[in-house]
């Protein structure tokens, strides 16, 4: 028989175990602040009685008709009144409805289960599939990585657009702005950057902010048709969604991207577009009766995008070594990049790619204005082989454009000037690309090598387009070793480059014959 001491010891052990289980139980009592709605203005509400809540916290508005609670974000506090932005549709809400505080700052689920899925800014599925199973949550608003946690940007971010990769190169961890008038190919360039991540070493997060539903679905289907959806996350807040969800979308997409970055991955975040995001911020601010400033935007509109874009970074190895690159889209009016929101964004990012409406009207695709476009970081990350063949192309192209403008006033008597004009026309044709047809690094290298060697100058412009369409297959089938060296970042030997030029010359000759026969 057990003694009294043994029995008492067993009871004490059991009691300690039970107390530990009760303390860890989710049913432990918890005090939740509650209040009442005192005002409703379209997509914002006013609540009183919420104690110990802060700006950025989440709250729940409980309709009196028994329908599901509506999430909201605390946007401002004035005494005992909290101004909240609804993150859902509040048709069932009325003055006097109960409001209860959440568990702190607004957060969303994050994790690898979200790859291949289309989600709303709160992490809820929009593609008809089950809710992704995730074991982590992340606040949508986070401080950017400190300076000491960052490393130099040294690896290239391949976009698949020859004009960008050769003349405006980007690096992993960079913030770049795609800016231009409506319908000038900005979204197409950002989508091509996603389509070019064939290797799978870069996770892509595409955020649609206030776009048309049909355009968003078309972009998603394009990625899925290429078999790349399993490496992408789509965060969607269309123009039909409440303003609160549109406002939250880029922050939610950034939180998802940061989870992969903190796991040591390289991530590309596409924000399409921040001009609509700024307009949504203005709408919400005016509804909250905040003081308007220039063009009725609130005074914090610069800080709105600065705290978002500053989260892009290349982390040092001791902090995981991952990177978060941001391609942000912005819209201009009348080809003017000096507007309020465009200048704000340009001052934050590491460069801009300008899509020109006049070039688009002339049929140039992509319609990139090389003279007004710049990358302040990615040049040091450009692959050495590509830098070798594209080093002076930006200067050559600028001189060609000046010469072309001068030639419109009359003929060119100088044979050297005519040769430069012919060479510039072939360079422009080599930089042209159709939509959703990104080129790999080896194909770009081959195409620019032919330009630099002058192989294209003796052939019609149609032959240049034929070469661009065939160079990808030629490189993969006939120069597999050279492709591997280029993708590894190695320098190319002169002998290998000479063999490549011979093959390209033969390919151009065949393309010229076919072009002549078709004419």
Q: Considering all CA atoms of the chain, what is the largest pairwise distance in Å, rounded to the nearest integer? A: 118
Write out the two tokens for 371. Answer: 């003279």
265 annotated active-site = no
Report the candidate in 342, 345, 353, 19 with the shortest Cα–Cα distance to residue 161: 353
Contact between 175 and 169 (Cβ < 8 Å): no
Report the candidate in 134, 140, 139 with the shortest Cα–Cα distance to residue 115: 134
Instruction: Tell me how many helices (H) and strands (E) the chain has.
Output: 16, 17
Contact between 229 and 291 (Cβ < 8 Å): no
Exactly one of 89, 376, 380, 476 is catalytic; name it: 376
Report the candidate in 453, 386, 464 with the shortest Cα–Cα distance to residue 429: 464
> In whole angstroms, what is the distance from residue 449 CA to residue 428 CA?
14
Contact between 238 and 214 (Cβ < 8 Å): no
Q: What is the DSSP letter of 148?
A: G
Query: Please, what is the Cα angle at 325 between 324 and 331, to 5 degrees?
Result: 135
CA distances from 117 to 25, 278, 305 (A): 32, 26, 26
- Three-class HEC string of 370-386: HHHCEECCHHHHCCHHH
Write out the two tokens for 201. Answer: 């070493």
Q: What are phi and psi of 206, to 5 degrees?
A: -105, 125
Bridge partners, 82 (sequence order): 47, 77
In DSSP notation, 90-101 reads: -TT--TT-EEEE
Task: Tell whether omega for the bond before 366 is within 30 degrees of 0, i.e. cis.
Answer: yes
Contacts of 309 (CB under 8 A, 6+ apart): 175, 326, 328, 345, 348, 349
Which residues belong to the active site?
Answer: 376
């Amino acid at each position: 028989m057990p003694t009294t001491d043994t029995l008492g010891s067993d009871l004490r052990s059991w009691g300690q175990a039970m107390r530990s289980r009760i303390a860890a139980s989710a049913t432990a009592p918890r005090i939740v602040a509650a209040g009442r709605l005192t005002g409703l203005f379209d997509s914002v509400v006013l609540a009183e009685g919420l104690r110990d809540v802060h700006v950025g916290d989440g709250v729940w508005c409980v309709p009196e008709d028994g329908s599901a609670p509506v999430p909201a974000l605390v946007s401002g506090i004035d005494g005992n009144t909290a101004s909240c932005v609804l993150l859902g549709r509040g048709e069932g809400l009325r003055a006097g409805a109960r409001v209860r505080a959440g568990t702190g700052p607004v957060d969303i689920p994050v994790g690898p289960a979200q790859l291949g899925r289309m989600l709303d800014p709160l992490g809820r599925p929009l593609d008809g599939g089950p809710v992704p199973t995730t074991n982590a949550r992340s606040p949508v608003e986070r401080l950017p990585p400190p300076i000491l946690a960052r490393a130099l940007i040294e690896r290239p971010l391949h976009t698949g657009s020859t004009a960008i990769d050769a003349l405006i190169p980007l690096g992993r961890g960079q913030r770049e702005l795609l800016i231009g008038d409506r319908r000038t190919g900005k979204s197409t360039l950002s989508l091509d950057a996603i389509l070019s991540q064939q290797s799978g070493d870069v996770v892509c997060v595409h955020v649609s902010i206030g776009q048309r539903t049909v355009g968003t679905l078309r972009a998603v289907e394009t990625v899925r048709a290429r078999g790349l959806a399993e490496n992408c996350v789509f965060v969607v807040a269309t123009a039909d969604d409440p303003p609160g969800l549109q406002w939250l979308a880029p922050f939610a997409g950034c939180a998802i991207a940061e989870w992969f970055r903190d796991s040591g991955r390289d991530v590309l975040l596409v924000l399409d577009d921040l001009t609509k995001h700024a307009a949504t911020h203005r709408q919400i601010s005016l509804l909250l009766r905040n003081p308007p400033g220039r063009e009725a935007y609130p005074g914090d509109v610069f800080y709105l995008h600065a705290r978002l874009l500053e989260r892009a970074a290349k982390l040092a190895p001791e902090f995981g070594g991952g990177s978060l690159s941001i391609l942000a889209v912005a819209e201009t009016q009348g080809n003017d990049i000096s507007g309020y929101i465009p200048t704000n964004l340009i001052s934050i990012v590491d460069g801009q790619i300008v899509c020109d409406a006049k070039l688009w009207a002339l049929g140039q695709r992509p319609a990139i204005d090389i003279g007004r476009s710049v990358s302040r970081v990615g040049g040091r990350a450009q692959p050495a082989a590509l830098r070798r063949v594209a080093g002076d192309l930006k200067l050559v192209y600028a001189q060609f454009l000046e010469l072309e403008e001068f030639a419109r006033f009359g003929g060119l008597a100088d044979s050297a000037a005519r040769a430069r004009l012919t060479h510039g026309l072939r360079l422009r044709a080599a930089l042209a690309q159709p939509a959703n047809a990104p080129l790999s690094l080896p194909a770009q290298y081959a195409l620019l090598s032919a330009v630099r060697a002058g192989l294209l100058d003796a052939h019609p412009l149609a032959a240049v387009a034929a070469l661009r369409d065939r160079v990808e297959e030629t490189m993969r089938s006939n120069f597999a070793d050279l492709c591997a060296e280029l993708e590894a970042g190695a320098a190319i030997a002169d002998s290998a480059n000479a063999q490549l030029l011979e093959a390209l010359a033969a390919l151009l000759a065949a393309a010229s014959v076919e072009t002549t026969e078709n004419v």
